[in-house]
């Protein structure tokens, strides 16, 4: 059965990353390898807030980023999702920007995604936050997606 994966804004950004630093080149390569495999085996979803973030940004690859996401199903933003966002902010699960990380986590959680894939390791794919997120989502009675990077989903080891 295919996994349902919420694609957050950093994924298309890193897909088209142009910086030459080794970490940026590696993230771009991992993102592209994961994307190619995931398109075949998984159900990738995204949201209007992701598209709006990309449209607002001044990325040189903005058009390409938006094109990459074209055709992916969009999960809905409704009042119930906004209440989850408010709870995340109130319980300091995520930063106060209600259209950013709290929104992405709320959408992936509320819509039962198996994974939220991101390169945002400060607020989303941060192991130090996982237990706090789990507790708040349990309190809300909603699903807890795995918060991962494309590298995590490739299933490769560092050895």
Q: How far apart (Å, rounded) are the C-alpha atoms in residues 16 and 80? A: 33
Question: Which two tokens mark 139?
Answer: 């309190």
- CA 19, 61, 42, 126 torsion-angle sign: positive
pLDDT at 1 (0 to 100): 84
- Report the interhelical angle of 62-69 vs 48-56 (nearest 10°): 170
Mean pLDDT by 10 residues, the chain (159 residues): 95 96 97 97 97 92 97 97 95 81 96 97 89 96 97 77
Q: How far apart (Å, rounded) are the C-alpha atoms in residues 52 and 11? A: 14
In CATH, what class is 4-152? alpha beta
Domain ranges of the chain: 4-152
pLDDT at 98 (0 to 100): 62
Check: CB of residue 130 under 8 Å from CB of residue 121. no
Q: 148: how many CB neighbours lie within 10 A of its CB? A: 18
Where does residue 102 rank: exposed (0-12), middle (13-18), buried (19+ CB within 10 A)? buried
pLDDT at 151 (0 to 100): 97
| Full-model pTM | 0.94
Please provide the distance, in angstroms rounded to a whole number, between the alpha carbons at the two ends of the chain. Answer: 29
């Amino acid at each position: 059965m295919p996994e349902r994966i919420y694609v957050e804004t950093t994924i298309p950004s890193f897909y088209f990353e142009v910086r030459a630093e080794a970490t940026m080149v590696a993230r771009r390569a991992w993102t592209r390898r994961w994307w190619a495999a995931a398109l075949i085996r998984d159900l990738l979803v995204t949201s209007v807030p992701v598209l709006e973030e990309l449209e607002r940004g001044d990325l040189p690859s903005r058009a390409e980023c938006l094109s990459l996401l074209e055709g992916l199903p969009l999960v809905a933003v409704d009042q119930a999702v906004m209440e989850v966002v408010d709870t995340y902010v109130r319980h300091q699960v995520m930063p106060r920007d209600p259209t950013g990380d709290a929104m992405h986590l709320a959408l992936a959680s509320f819509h039962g995604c198996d994974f939220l894939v991101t390169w945002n390791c400060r607020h989303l794919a941060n192991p130090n936050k996982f237990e706090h997120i789990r507790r708040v989502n349990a309190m809300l009675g909603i699903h807890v997606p795995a918060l991962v990077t494309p590298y995590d989903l490739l299933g490769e080891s560092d050895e």
